[in-house]
Structure 1
Amino acid sequence: MKQSKAWMGVSLVLFVLLAGVSVYAFTKGGGEGKDVVVATVNGTDIGKNKLYDEMILNGGSRVLDNLINEELVKQEADKAGITVTDADLDAEIASFKKQFSSDEEFQMMLMQYGMTQDDLKKQMPMQVRLKKLLESKTDVTDEEIQKYYDENKEAMSTPEQVKASHILVATKEESEAILTQLKAGADFAQLAKEKSTDTGSKDKGGDLDYFPRGAMVKEFEDAAFALNVGEMSGVVQSEHGFHIIKVTDKKAAATPTLDEKKADIKETLVSQEIQELAGPWMEEIKGKSKINNTLQTS
């Protein structure tokens, strides 16, 4: 469910994001008058006007359509007395982030589109206005919520997980020497920072965070899941080298109840209905509006 929700949210947002990025590229350093050199190739200048003309030919019409849509949504929101506050934008960001399995996945999405969270926030007002305009037109029933829960219960469940730290070294002799130090009272996190060859975890004291079965190589997984919280393994060999593992926490497998997930499910279904309503609604508004689009092809 996490993945489908995330991409549903992405599809809603990227329409605005890509328009914002393109508009920024079109207007950066804008203004009438003298052409501005944006690149030089072996002494030959490429001017902003040529860049602008080329961008108009390659997607300019779509960007202008997006700007028109954004203005129409803003005008309809103004007529309805709808405002967008900073709290609205923060709530929308928080809702959007929930659709990703982790903050790292969310940050990767932003990196993919060359954006920061502040950039994303600046592009959110249109989505918030559209949601406020159309939310009252949605009609999500308890039966639909129940059906969604039944169909996605397994995906909403979380498996048994272990939180563990480890120290990874290349040889059995090294690991045995470290194990001796640990049994004598040495600090696990400190030794991980000093000795571990796992660059992804050593600076965090060897912390690997929570992971389910199937996420690690079998030898490591079997050892970690066999330990109780607070226990430390002996030397564990895997294809990566020699590990010493310490389990710091465990989470039992869990399936959320309908009551626990009802609000999230309703939010998902409302967003889906808004997606379905947005196209026809926008066409209706366009049909009632006087729009002069000079880039529109005849």
Structure 2
Amino acid sequence: MDNQESQRKEEELKNAAEQETNTHEDNQHTTESTIASPNAAGGAPLGGSTPPPPRKSGNGAWIALSAVLAILLVIVAIKPVFGGGNNAAVATVNKVDITKEDLYEEMLKSGGKTTLDNLITQQLITQEAKASNVTVTEADIDEEINTLKASFGTDEQFNAALAQYGVTLESLRKDAETQVKIRKLLEPSITITDDQIKEAYEQNKASYGTGEEIKASHILVATQEEADAILKELKDGADFATLAKEKSTDTGTKDNGGDLGFFGKGVMDPAFEEAAFALEVDQISDVVKSSFGFHIIKKTGFKAATSPTFEEKKEEIRKQLLNQQIQEKSATWIQEIRDKATITNTLEEKTEEETDASANPDAAVSPEASAAQ
């Protein structure tokens, strides 16, 4: 096989590897019961286990898709392993070689067709953008990434999601570029009226506001006697944060002086929540028994409930409705540009030939072979 053909095989191998990433399933996360809400700022689970990142508006799916791009970087990095001839061994099992060709064929079968189909679609989107003079700037990509990042709440949760799917920020930016191209191509054909925005606001008004939230710290111990002794020290003037660091059994919060961050109603143990919300700011509770043990709680902050006005939410809602329309139209639009395009898929043709040969083995025999028989 000449060098050009070898390079083609390398590229197809990369494409097949990408499809393997597309079929990757999320690792299931199991967390222990928590005294603090996993999503509360600064909140930490009992025992110090880490909650999974939030999944909002399909962002997990976008990041999973970007893992396709990340796998390319890995394959390029290990390319020297696949150097040499097409029959070079990439592994040996009991003195039997598994060749580069063996690996290539299996990876191609496992997902090469679908991966090539995705690459065809990406190329069509790029061509449509060029024909329409659509350009994507670094600022456009930054905005797309920042919007995605904001939906995860914190940088830590966003970075955890990237790590979960094995995605680099660089590969995510490449995927964001495609997202921006689609949006810029379809947005001119979509009109969002003030009436639509107003209707969406009224339908979702309750979800736009935030309920009352408090900030609190706590000291958790196993017995009533321990809690009573700590409460006495606090009444005698001991520092709450210092005692939390020294004596609390909640490893997720003790190093921060027992700080749980802000949280709303419905996220804590009921007994804990009732006692915490009943306190005044800087007030310390009596001993509170919950399903986790015995607590002493100090309320350290308060946020009143909020209800944003229509004008405050108008632009945000417009963008949400626009993105929804783009998502709904994109599949049809992609199919339309595929139907108009001239596409030659030699991989698909090869697969069909192999299928025919398998179904009709006699037809696969050459005339010369038939004559010899």
**Following superposition of structure 1 onto structure 2, how do residues 177-192 of structure 1 map, counting pairs within 5 Å?**
177-192=229-244
Residue 7 of structure 1 aligns to a residue in which SS? coil
Q: Where in structure 1 are there 5+ consecutive unaligned residues?
A: none
1:282 aligned residue: 334
Deviation per CA, 1:111-168: give whole Å up to 9, x if none: 4423244442342111111112211221111111112112222222222211111111
Q: Does 1:82 align with 2:134?
A: yes
Q: Does 1:228 align with 2:280?
A: yes
Residue 228 of structure 1 aligns to a residue in which SS? coil
Q: Does 1:166 align with 2:218?
A: yes
1:151 aligned residue: 203
Deviation per CA, 1:182-227: give whole Å up to 9, x if none: 3344332232222211122122221111212121112111110001
For 1:97 and 1:73, locate their aligned partners in 2 and report how far apart those are by CA, in whole Å.
25
User: Residues 241, 136 of structure 1: CA spacing in aligned structure 2 closer, same or farther, 3 A cutoff?
Assistant: same
User: Residues 38, 275 of structure 1: CA spacing in aligned structure 2 closer, same or farther, 3 A cutoff?
Assistant: farther
2:46 aligned residue: none
Q: Where in structure 2 are there 5+ consecutive unaligned residues?
A: 1-53, 353-373
Match of 1:245 among 297, 303, 324: 297
1:259 aligned residue: 311
1:7 aligned residue: 57
Aligned residue type for 2:292: H
2:66 aligned residue: 17
Check the 8 A contact 2:69/2:171 in 1, yes or no.
Answer: no
Aligned residue type for 2:226: E
TM superposition shift of 1:290: 2.9
User: Residues 72, 284 of structure 1: CA spacing in aligned structure 2 closer, same or farther, 3 A cutoff?
Assistant: same
Match of 2:85 among 34, 45, 51: 34
Check the 8 A contact 1:158/1:253 in 2, yes or no.
Answer: yes
Match of 2:249 among 162, 178, 197: 197
User: Residues 169, 49 of structure 1: CA spacing in aligned structure 2 closer, same or farther, 3 A cutoff?
Assistant: farther
Check the 8 A contact 2:63/2:167 in 1, yes or no.
Answer: no
Larger proportion of strand:
1
User: Residues 5, 206 of structure 1: CA spacing in aligned structure 2 closer, same or farther, 3 A cutoff?
Assistant: closer
Aligned residues: 295
User: Residues 77, 84 of structure 1: CA spacing in aligned structure 2 closer, same or farther, 3 A cutoff?
Assistant: same
TM superposition shift of 1:40: 5.0
Check the 8 A contact 2:70/2:167 in 1, yes or no.
Answer: no
User: Residues 74, 233 of structure 1: CA spacing in aligned structure 2 closer, same or farther, 3 A cutoff?
Assistant: same
State the superposition RMSD in angstroms: 2.9
User: Which is greater in Rg?
Assistant: 2
Match of 1:214 among 247, 263, 266: 266
Relative to the length of structure 2, the TM-score reads 0.70
1:49 aligned residue: 101
Relative to the length of structure 1, the TM-score reads 0.85
Check the 8 A contact 1:9/1:96 in 2, yes or no.
Answer: yes
User: Residues 57, 175 of structure 1: CA spacing in aligned structure 2 closer, same or farther, 3 A cutoff?
Assistant: same
Check the 8 A contact 1:5/1:268 in 2, yes or no.
Answer: no
TM superposition shift of 1:285: 2.2
2:371 aligned residue: none
Which deviates the most, 261-270 or 277-286? 277-286
TM superposition shift of 1:26: 6.6
Check the 8 A contact 1:16/1:127 in 2, yes or no.
Answer: no
User: Residues 205, 43 of structure 1: CA spacing in aligned structure 2 closer, same or farther, 3 A cutoff?
Assistant: farther
Check the 8 A contact 1:26/1:55 in 2, yes or no.
Answer: no
User: Residues 151, 46 of structure 1: CA spacing in aligned structure 2 closer, same or farther, 3 A cutoff?
Assistant: farther
For 1:205 and 1:37, locate their aligned partners in 2 and report how far apart those are by CA, in whole Å.
58
Check the 8 A contact 2:60/2:161 in 1, yes or no.
Answer: no
For 1:273 and 1:93, locate their aligned partners in 2 and report how far apart those are by CA, in whole Å.
20
TM superposition shift of 1:258: 1.6
TM superposition shift of 1:80: 3.0
Aligned residue type for 1:239: S
User: Residues 28, 211 of structure 1: CA spacing in aligned structure 2 closer, same or farther, 3 A cutoff?
Assistant: same
Which deviates the most, 50-59 or 228-237? 50-59
**Following superposition of structure 1 onto structure 2, how do residues 125-144 of structure 1 map, counting pairs within 5 Å?**
125-144=177-196
For 1:40 and 1:167, locate their aligned partners in 2 and report how far apart those are by CA, in whole Å.
58
